[in-house]
Structure 1
Amino acid sequence: MSNARILVTGATGQLGRLVVQSLRTLVGADRIIVAVRDPAKAADLAAIGVEVRAADYNQPAQLIAAFAGVDRVLLISSSEVGARLPQHRNVIDAAVKAGVKLLAYTSLLRGDASPLPLKAEHVATEAYLQAAGLPFVLLRNGWYTENYNGFIPSALEHGALFGAAGEGRIAAAARADYAEAAARVIAEGEAHAGKIYELAGDQPFTLADWAAALAEAAGKPVAYQNLPEAEFRGLLVKVGLPEPVADLLASADAGAAQGGLFDDSHTLSRLIGRPTTSLGAVLTAALAR
């Protein structure tokens, strides 16, 4: 369907904006619709010819109206951990009622087998989507390399990176890599229906590798210090992170230690037609800001 209209939810988020940027190159702005909670935050997208519609994950009627005339939907998972499942159900139900021909969902790497507690809402969403009778594709995203950028200032200040991932290999990729894959899949459309893509970076690293790469990029010594999960969580709370965020980061590290963030299928690089962005490139970009 060469003239299919594509809707992206959560389009003013970090991933969503990158998806729209890639989609604009692939299909042109006139085929893109963005569904956002606050249309004012998408004024820049409207200015380049993207249609902006108001849609809150918590408002079923608003979602149904936003999906009118839409052929394909990219459901970018909600950022509200703990409230995701009912929100995702609302989106899926609205897509069914609107007669959407394909829905792509950004899930979690090997969600059904992942040791990360974060998997629960993703697994439940996948099950609901599969039962909905709507053609779908699962984009099981691994970790974003940028997830660690917040640790850069303290690591450089103290010469140490703390974590609980042990020797776990983390097949992270840049957020833009995942965004490009999502854009390509939703642009190509129904040929991807029924597919489950395990998406991860080409060059896995341990947190000790991350510390060494930061040291090289910044020209300052940085060493990795592994902690028990509970101790790492306590440290994160002590430095001011909210408890839910500390829980998320500590449990992710513990999951990484069990292999939960590793994948060597290279599916992501095949989808985007190039190698995924290197750790060094992400760190260099972060340090340049």
Structure 2
Amino acid sequence: MIAVTGASGQLGRLVVEALLKSKTETRIAALVRDPSKVADFGEKGVDVRKADYDAPETLAAALEGVERLLLISSSEVGQRTRQHKAAIDAAKAAGVKLIAYTSILNADDSPLALADEHRETEAYLEESGVPYVLLRHGWYTENYMGAIPAAVENGAVYGCAGDGRFSFATRKDYAEADAAVLLKEGQAGKVYELAGARGYTLSELAAEISAHANKTIPYVNIPEAAYSDALVKAGIPEPFAAILANSETGASGGALFTKSHDLSDLIGRSSTTLAESVAVAMQD
């Protein structure tokens, strides 16, 4: 059995859908806090199980019979290490044979504030003795798609990434790669640096938006603190705004860029281009 944590989330749902599309004969379990959110999976033959990182007693039953577990990193920044440790401990006790963990790109030496909890989780996996594979995700293209309307309205794309390149890929791209690894044999000990086939600057993002908006929308680089403040004023919670701004500063130094083609190799095609993503976003 293959189990996916966070299966009601944006990434987890796509992974389960990719597994279903593969027509695998292996049973699939969707682990979620609220089973009602994935009732549609139950109708498709997926075993829906309640699992809450903050309620360890739910994890033992949720992991019963699971051989391969996709541990999708928690969305609760600051609580991730504790929550991940609970899941890893439960997986070990349940006899899970492989844990695939969605870490962060270039985790070994990433300067991003987000990277600390990922490194701590990777270290705990090593200590646990449970065979594991690391799926180090790069930046999601969707991180910027929601801001397109504001960019068009304000007449500019603002950020603090300078000329840094982002190896963007869509959640669907990453989900297909994650599913491919779960379906492969001999994955223990492997490390995948997953990211888009090419890197894009925020100036290139602005150019794509301009092309679809039929007006010039430049990229305007501002200091990290000013960008964080702007995000807060736009309604983003202060802690998350600080993380986004810190990540862009890291990107300016190459933290979110890689020449790895692991993702394309796993999904058997090139990753979704920025142009394709912007076109879809601006049609919605």
Q: Which residue of 2 aligns with 1:137?
A: 133
Q: In the alignment, is the contact (CA less than 8 A) between 2:2 and 2:26 conserved in 1?
A: no
Aligned to 2:203, the other structure's residue is in SS state helix
In the alignment, residue 198 of structure 2 is paired with which amino acid?
Q
Q: Which residue of 2 aligns with 1:203?
A: 198
Q: Which residue of 2 aligns with 1:274?
A: 269
Aligned to 2:29, the other structure's residue is in SS state strand
The answer on 1:166 being equivalent to 2:167 is: no
Q: Distance in 2 between matches of 1:23 and 1:66?
A: 19
Deviation at 1:283, TM superposition (A): 0.9
Give the count of matched residue pairs: 284
Deviation at 1:27, TM superposition (A): 4.0
Q: Distance in 1 between matches of 2:114 and 2:228?
A: 16
Q: Distance in 2 between matches of 1:35 and 1:285?
A: 30
TM-score by length of structure 1 reads 0.96
If each structure's helix is expressed as a fraction of its own residues, which one has the higher value? 1
Q: Distance in 1 between matches of 2:139 and 2:116?
A: 16
Listed one character per residue, the Cα deviations across residues 85-118 of structure 1 (whole Å, up to 9, x for unaligned) are 1100011001101111111000000112111110
Q: Which residue of 1 aligns with 2:246?
A: 251
Q: In the alignment, is the contact (CA less than 8 A) between 1:106 and 1:139 conserved in 2?
A: yes
Q: Distance in 1 between matches of 2:87 and 2:114?
A: 20
Q: Distance in 2 between matches of 1:251 and 1:111?
A: 15
Mean Cα displacement is larger for which, 238-247 or 20-29? 20-29
In the alignment, residue 259 of structure 1 is paired with which amino acid?
G
Q: Which residue of 1 aligns with 2:181?
A: 185
Q: Distance in 2 between matches of 1:32 and 1:114?
A: 33
| Structure 2 residue runs without a partner (length 5+) | none
Q: Which residue of 2 aligns with 1:228?
A: 223
Aligned to 1:288, the other structure's residue is in SS state coil
In the alignment, residue 270 of structure 1 is paired with which amino acid?
D
Q: Distance in 2 between matches of 1:45 and 1:288?
A: 28
Q: Which residue of 2 aligns with 1:107?
A: 103
Aligned to 1:192, the other structure's residue is in SS state coil
Deviation at 1:285, TM superposition (A): 1.3
The answer on 1:73 being equivalent to 2:98 is: no
Q: How high is the sequence identity, in percent, across the aligned residues?
A: 54
Q: Distance in 1 between matches of 2:117 and 2:37?
A: 27
Deviation at 1:217, TM superposition (A): 2.7
TM-score by length of structure 2 reads 0.98
Q: Distance in 2 between matches of 1:210 and 1:17?
A: 27
> 1:138-153 counterparts in 2 under 5 A?
138-153=134-149
Q: Distance in 1 between matches of 2:24 and 2:192?
A: 25
Q: In the alignment, is the contact (CA less than 8 A) between 1:115 and 1:260 conserved in 2?
A: yes
